[in-house]
Amino acid sequence: MGKSATGKSVGIAVWTLDCTSVAVHEQPMPPRTSQKLTRRPDLALQRKYGGLIAGVDEAGRGPWAGPVVAAAVIFHGKPPAGVNDSKKLAPAERENLFSKIFAAAHVGIGIAPVELIDEINIYHATHRAMCDAISALAFAPNAALIDGNRCPKLDIPSEALVSGDALSISIAAASIIAKVTRDRMMTELASTFPPYRWERNKGYGTADHASALREYGVTLHHRRSFRPVWERLMMEAAA
């Protein structure tokens, strides 16, 4: 059993895979998909491969604070109505779909903390989280569909899809799981660090976050490898 950001058990297994070599080597960039993005995501790409197909996506590459979270989803039942790219859904819609996805799919979650992001950079940390999400699935997938333009190096067939959360319903579901999981984590952190307003900005570089960073400085949850945070640290060192 994994635990949610609130500490409650959820119906997933989350463990850490030693994929150092996976995280720092990537496959060559595949050609960009020519599929139009006007339709809703569906299962067409899953049927292309057959078997158990995992959709994989992440949340939190850009923020100045907090982890990057990845999710992997394999549907074993009918996908719930309304699943779409998480960015196209309101927070209440994502929360409503979160439990419905768990009921209809195998879900794995991978979390790369701030320390790992600063150690190996956000790109490689994102791939590490994706590896861990796939490893956390109850069943090994036959192939993986990855949102983005590069795949982490995996021992199963994988395909990178630009705007994949608008093409594959499994990737769209993974985007919802990753987003809701990370948002809950940042809301919980906000209760300990209220000036940064992480319950609102989720660690992104908004005006209120930048103002708090200038006034209160860097916390242990900030990414020191990100320029605005690094610049604030240099100011503190020079003072």
- Binding site residues for a divalent metal cation, as ranges? 57-58, 147
> Three-state secondary structure along the chain?
CEECCCCCEECCCCCCCCCHHHHCCECCCCCCCCCCCCCCCECHHHHHHCCCEEEEEEECCCCCECCEEEEEEEECCCCCCCCCCHHHCCHHHHHHHHHHHHHHEEEEEEEECHHHHHHHCHHHHHHHHHHHHHHCCCCCCCEEEEECCCCECCCCCEEEECCHHHCEHHHHHHHHHHHHHHHHHHHHHHCCCHHHCHHHHCCCCCHHHHHHHHHHCCCCCECCCCHHHHHHHHHHHHC
Whole-angstrom Cα distance, residue 182 to residue 60?
Answer: 7
Taking the C-alpha atoms of residue 102 and residue 104, their distance in angstroms, rounded to an integer, is: 6
Binding residues: 57-58, 147
Closest CA to 143 of 158, 165, 161, 160: 158
CA distance 114 to 183: 15
